[in-house]
Amino acid sequence: MTKANFRKDLGNIFLLVFLYVLQGIPLGLIASIPMILQNRSVSYKEQAKFSFAIWPFSLKLFWAPIVDALYSSRMGRRKTWLVPMQYLIGIFMLTLSPRVNELLDTGNIGLITGVFFMLNFLAATQDIAVDGWALTMLRKENVGYASTCNSVGQTAGYFLGFVVFLALESADFCNNYLRSAGESQTYGMVTLPGFLNFWAWVFIATTTLVWIMKREKPERGVSSEKIDVISSYKGLWQILQLPNIRLTLVFLLSCKIAFAAADSVTGLKFVEMGVPKDRLALLAIPMTPLQILLPVIISRYTAGPNPMNVFIKAYPFRLVYGLVFALVVYFTPSFKLADGTFPFIYYAGIVVIYAIHQVAVYSMFVAVMAFFAQVSDPTVGGTYMTLLNTVCNMGGNWPSTLVLWLVDPLTSKSCTGGTVSNDCSSTDLKEECTKAGGKCSVDVDGYYIMIPLNHHGSLIVLGYFILNAGIVTITCFWFDEQTTH
């Protein structure tokens, strides 16, 4: 096996990173919407509904064979889909920008979810094309760097769409850090419509340059004869019949169950407890260099024949870290100052905790992406990579949606200190409690049950998570004993 040398593919690596940056923009933007909705007292059930907006990356397997099979030889197999999808993303953003505030003001979660689901659908289709192109754009010995390009590019794009947007959209942040004294305003320096409009034109302009300037080279080991759609789906079915693939899919669908509450609810709990959403977004700034450097560092250990060794070592650490997040959320109210703000030491502690957590997250991500790149057949590269990526995404999405949905039913509240007694289970009951001079107090928080950590402990769930960790570790060892195909 030829030793990897990224310098021989430097231009292609830069292009792949750029394409993944563009992909990360709508992903980051969609991730910011729950923070905006949480400030509008949206329930966790409604947050669960909106979480379906991120599901296209877990469903793209259904149309990946079409992307693999239908293309123009003159334009290029991957550019046939990449260019139109990126143009459509730009047009979609241009159309949405003047209407997005009105859309959010309606409070119609179903409609909001549908709109952002469509935006994510376009990004997911672009991802199929880029993943397939990465397998042939890079030299065979450098294909392991595809995961690094994915991780670095998506991280940078996500940072722009989430952190930068929420910071510049916040009036408090702009008044405190960007505007001079006496220029305070009640709005930020960037609005959601303006942000969408700007990136729409970036998509349109840069896609034109890629279309004109980048040519696709012949795909390694791929027949010049086109594969029709039916044959592509048959190929997908044949892939699913492989015993190793079946075991891999079971593994991918279950390995993230233990992280669901920590990953999907923790940030929303911080906002619920009064931590400003722009401050939470800003906490990602000191970690962004780490998130970009980590894949580069980790790829040294995942570009070889046994990338899942890294996954094995990171999994138990990340598993225990869920309990750390639960403890931080539990003690957050004790750090709150009389004026409703939080001290610097609190934010510094959160940064340190998240930074350590990211080491485990990116170790697992880069390792599993490198594994996917190694086992995928370039003949049906888009379908093969998409199958594995789709199931991997689904393995994270379905537990997160389920956890968000269950937080409210598992939470028990009561009205205390007033002249009425109710369970504060609806907006009307909350208003009734407040008008009677009472306060809705949380007796049992469903978040701690799902982590698991509550007032009574949850040894059964904790035991399941430990068992799940053992199964995952054994499966990872099995992977590394197999051949790469």
Q: Output the DSSP codes for 405-432.
A: HHHHHH-EEEEESSS------SHHHHHH
- Is domain 6-410+445-481 classified as CATH 1.10.287.1040? no
Instruction: Tell me what pLDDT residue 321 has.
Output: 81
In 163-287, where does DSSP find H-type helix?
Answer: 165-169, 171-173, 192-213, 229-240, 243-254, 260-264, 266-272, 277-282
454 — pLDDT class (breaks 50, 70, 90): very low
Q: Cα separation of 414 and 145, whole Å?
A: 54
Q: How far is CA 234 from the centre of its chain?
A: 30
Q: Does residue 79 register a pLDDT over 50?
A: yes
Q: Does residue 198 register a pLDDT over 90?
A: yes
- 83-104 pLDDT, tens digit per residue, is 999 999 999 999 999 999 899 8
The answer to whether 127 and 25 have CB atoms below 8 angstroms apart is no
Tabulate helix, strand, coil % of the chain (nearest 5): 75, 0, 25
Q: What is the DSSP letter of 443?
A: E
Q: Give the residue-averaged pLDDT of 119-141.
A: 85
The tokens 């010995």 sit on which residue?
141
| pTM confidence score | 0.73
Q: Cα separation of 167 and 189, whole Å?
A: 9
Residues 6 or more apart whose Cβ sits within 8 Å of residue 191: 101, 169
Stated as kind and residue range, the H or E segment containing 184 is: none
Gyration radius from the chain CA atoms: 23
Residue 162 sits at the vertex; the CA angle it makes with 156 and 163, to the nearest 5 degrees, is 80
Q: Cα separation of 321 and 316, whole Å?
A: 9
Q: Cα separation of 39 and 172, whole Å?
A: 15
460 — pLDDT class (breaks 50, 70, 90): very low
Top pLDDT among 461 and 414 is at 414
Q: Give the residue-averaged pLDDT of 234-258.
A: 80
Q: Dihedrals φ, ψ of 33, to 5°?
A: -60, -45
Instruction: Tell me what pLDDT residue 430 has.
Output: 78
- 365-408 pLDDT, tens digit per residue, is 888 877 877 776 665 555 676 678 788 888 888 888 888 888 88
Q: Cα separation of 204 and 88, whole Å?
A: 9
Of the candidates 119, 45, 155, the one whose C-alpha atom is nearest the C-alpha of residue 37 is: 45
Q: Give the residue-averaged pLDDT of 169-188.
A: 79
Mean pLDDT of the chain, nearest integer? 80
The answer to whether 255 and 395 have CB atoms below 8 angstroms apart is yes
Residues 6 or more apart whose Cβ sits within 8 Å of residue 220: 136, 140, 378
The tokens 């469509």 sit on which residue?
118
10 Å CB burial of residue 105 (0-12, 13-18, 19+) is: exposed
Q: What is the DSSP letter of 2?
A: P
User: What are 96-102's contacts with CB under 8 Å, separation 24+?
Assistant: 96/196, 97/192, 97/193, 97/194, 97/196, 97/197, 97/200, 98/193, 100/192, 100/193, 100/196, 101/191, 101/192, 101/193
When mean pLDDT is compared across 80-84, 230-234, 300-304, the lowest value belongs to 300-304
Residues 6 or more apart whose Cβ sits within 8 Å of residue 103: 96, 111, 112, 115
Instruction: Tell me what pLDDT residue 226 has.
Output: 59
Instruction: Tell me what pLDDT residue 346 has.
Output: 92
Residue 248 sits at the vertex; the CA angle it makes with 242 and 251, to the nearest 5 degrees, is 150
| Tokens linked to 246 | 């079946």
Q: How many residues are recorded in the chain?
A: 485
- 288-331 pLDDT, tens digit per residue, is 778 778 877 887 777 666 777 788 788 888 878 888 888 898 89
Q: Does residue 352 register a pLDDT over 50?
A: yes
Q: Give the residue-averaged pLDDT of 137-155.
A: 78
The rounded percent of the chain whose pLDDT value lies above 90 is: 16
Q: Does residue 74 register a pLDDT over 70?
A: yes
Top pLDDT among 304 and 40 is at 40
Top pLDDT among 225 and 263 is at 263
3-state secondary structure of 75: coil
Q: Cα separation of 46 and 109, whole Å?
A: 7
457 Rama sector, left if φ>0, alpha if ψ -120 to 50, beta otherwise: left
449 — pLDDT class (breaks 50, 70, 90): confident
Q: Give the residue-averaged pLDDT of 418-431.
A: 75
Q: How far is CA 323 from the centre of its chain?
A: 21
Top pLDDT among 159 and 223 is at 159
Instruction: Tell me what pLDDT residue 4 has.
Output: 55
Beta bridge partners of 442: 413
The rounded percent of the chain whose pLDDT value lies above 70 is: 84
